[in-house]
Amino acid sequence: MSQSAVMGLEARGEAGASEGPMGAGRRRITALALALVVAAAAASLGYELSVHHFLFGNTEYDDGVYLGAAVALVHGLLPYRDFVFVQPPGSTLLLAPTALVGLAAGTRDAMMLARLLTAGVEVANVALVGWLLRRRGAAAVLVGGGFLVAYPASLFTAHTVLLEPYLDLFCLIGVTLALGAEKHFGGWPRLALAGVAFGFAGAVKVWAVAPFLVLVLVVLVARGGGWRKLAALVGGAAVGFAGPVLPFLISAPAAMVRQVLIAQAVRPKTARSGAAERLIGLSGIDRGPFHATMSDAVVAVLLYGALIVLGLVLGRGRRSPLEVFAPLAAVAVAVLLFLPNEWFYHYPAFEGPFLALSLGLAVGAIVRSGRSGALAAGGLALAAIGWFAIGTVHLEGTLGRLPYRDPGPSLEALVPRQACAVANSSSLLLESNRFLASRTSCPFVLDPAGLWLTEQPGHTLAAARRLDSGRWLAVFQRADYLVGIRPGSADRIAWTAGLRRYVARDFCEVRPYLYVRRSYLTRHLAVRDGPLAMGCYLSRFGVRRA
């Protein structure tokens, strides 16, 4: 019998063994582990949205920008051309169906649905990580999926509409299409679709370039890759990125380049966030039941690295493309996140899935190595349960201390529907169903921080501040209500002495951080709060109401 025939019989014998009772039992246990981590993710995020105004309250600034851009789009306004938007348009397109709800039910309900959608996307991310690890056994799925469930940045970022969960989703879809078979690459059609997924991820946030370049490298050098598959991957990425971006680029090419590329690249030189804060966030111990330090983060990172290296050493046979990709992508994303001058709590959520994949693959390799595999499996399963317990303690402890509130109903009652309201955060107007005014003369300001970013490239900071202040004066002159502002504070509005004088002369503070134009309130004396209007009028002459 020829050697090839013998090898074929052996391969069929191994396949048959894997299909036997033991193989079927392992698959059922792995499926149960996958269901467990997905259920844990859904339960954690469901609990998160059920407390402390997370579902309807004012918990973020960026969520108002992203959903507001989608709401503006379904009303016929184009980002970059009609309003400033400093991110690629992918999130606007993804949230457009949710924004359509705002046409009928109101933007408050649209925000609620968008938050539920984001939580669902994070659950899908956990499911994709577990699915990619399924061939490595239940321990790998428990550790990798459980790590992502309890990873603080991923957990907290998914509480509202932020970009990282959607960015992770399309990157993971791309990895699943390209490397889901684990032992080899998919065919060129699957790699082309993987490229489309990564391209769309780049249209959500350009950070997707980091794991994509790692995948390009792996396809180029790993066995089973090659130039044809590389061309399919890169071509698909070009299509996935150009499809959502080109229509907006054609409508306003100069504005889009200035807002998305130049304004982001040439940010004001504020104090740089330190390495300790970044490393603590990336390590996933920043909101545990203890106060993490730089030393704690270094220890955690060293432990992760030791586990990954041990898995690579003990793994049998040739490294699969997924085993090569995952740790390289985790390192590439971590390096990328050290580059921005600023640092926000949701940035590490981009690292979470790649770190979880790396740890899960390492655990699977250790357990399957046959060297004290049962002991290793038990210990790692306990570690996964312990990590999830830490995440649960973090969740309950952190959420219980957050001072979030829901001003939407009171703002909706105080601000007439026909009035022109301007806010320093679009979230406030979305949650009170006062986002878009009925009259066309009302200025539309989606992102005050984005206005400042687009003003400062090419100017000194002082000159940019003067220009921004002049723009805000023009906006205030056409507004009836100012929502969420604090004259003179270091918020997103470039306050100058002249701008403060204008607000003090023409507006009256009727509630904390809510100002109404004096003439507007006087005109509506018959239909609004009469004593309130009279008190506002008298305050101009220094008379205070009791």
Give yes or no for residue 189 having a pLDDT over 70. Answer: yes
- Span 234-255, mean pLDDT? 96
Predicted local confidence at residue 384, as pLDDT = 60
For residue 150, which of 395, 383, 396, 333 has the smallest C-alpha distance? 395
Which has more confidence, 452 or 121?
121
Give yes or no for residue 268 having a pLDDT over 80. Answer: no
Give yes or no for residue 159 having a pLDDT over 80. Answer: yes
CA distances from 35 to 24, 40, 130, 139, 395 (A): 16, 8, 9, 13, 21
- Residue with tokens 């009652």, as numbered in its chain: 413
Share in percent of the chain as helix, strand, coil (round to 5): 65, 5, 30
For residue 163, which of 107, 124, 202, 198 has the smallest C-alpha distance? 202
Give yes or no for residue 385 having a pLDDT over 80. Answer: no
Band of pLDDT at residue 277, cut at 50, 70 and 90 = confident
Band of pLDDT at residue 200, cut at 50, 70 and 90 = very high
Domain ranges of the chain: 29-399, 408-539
- Span 394-423, mean pLDDT? 80
Predicted local confidence at residue 124, as pLDDT = 97
For residue 364, which of 153, 140, 51, 126 has the smallest C-alpha distance? 140
Predicted local confidence at residue 62, as pLDDT = 94
Question: Residue 475 CA to chain centroid, in angstroms?
Answer: 30
Give yes or no for residue 174 having a pLDDT over 90. Answer: yes
Residues 6 or more apart in contact with residue 343 via CB below 8 angstroms:
273, 277, 278, 281
Host H or E run for residue 136: none
CA distances from 7 to 16, 251, 401 (A): 14, 60, 63
Strands 481-483 and 421-423 come out as: parallel
Predicted local confidence at residue 5, as pLDDT = 43
Which has more confidence, 167 or 534?
167
Give yes or no for residue 519 having a pLDDT over 60. Answer: yes
Host H or E run for residue 404: none
- Span 501-507, mean pLDDT? 90
Predicted local confidence at residue 9, as pLDDT = 37
pLDDT digits (tens, 9 = 90+) for 57-92: 888 999 999 999 999 999 999 999 999 999 999 999
Band of pLDDT at residue 528, cut at 50, 70 and 90 = very low
- Span 27-44, mean pLDDT? 92
Which has more confidence, 440 or 148?
148
Contact 177, 59 (CB under 8 A): no
DSSP category for residue 510: E
- The DSSP bridge partners found for residue 517 are 507
* Torsional class of 508: left (φ above 0), alpha (ψ -120 to 50), beta (otherwise): beta
Predicted local confidence at residue 487, as pLDDT = 83
- Span 311-339, mean pLDDT? 88
**Tokens at residue 353, please?**
């899935």
The SS3 assignment for 511 reads strand
Please write down the HEC assignment for all residues of 453-492: HHHCCCCCHHHHHHHHHHHHHHHHCCCCEEECCCCCCCCC
**Tokens at residue 298, please?**
């270094």
For residue 457, which of 296, 286, 259 has the smallest C-alpha distance? 259
Give yes or no for residue 515 having a pLDDT over 70. Answer: yes
- Span 390-405, mean pLDDT? 64
Q: What percent of the chain has pLDDT over 70?
A: 78
End-to-end CA distance of the chain: 104
Give yes or no for residue 17 having a pLDDT over 70. Answer: no
Give yes or no for residue 288 having a pLDDT over 70. Answer: no
DSSP category for residue 261: I
Give yes or no for residue 545 having a pLDDT over 50. Answer: no
Predicted local confidence at residue 251, as pLDDT = 95
User: Helix H segments across 51-87?
Assistant: 62-74
pLDDT digits (tens, 9 = 90+) for 458-497: 665 666 667 777 888 899 999 999 999 888 776 788 888 8
Q: What is the rounded average pLDDT for all residues in the chain?
A: 83
Highest-pLDDT range among 137-151, 155-169, 305-319, 445-459? 155-169
Host H or E run for residue 314: helix 294-314
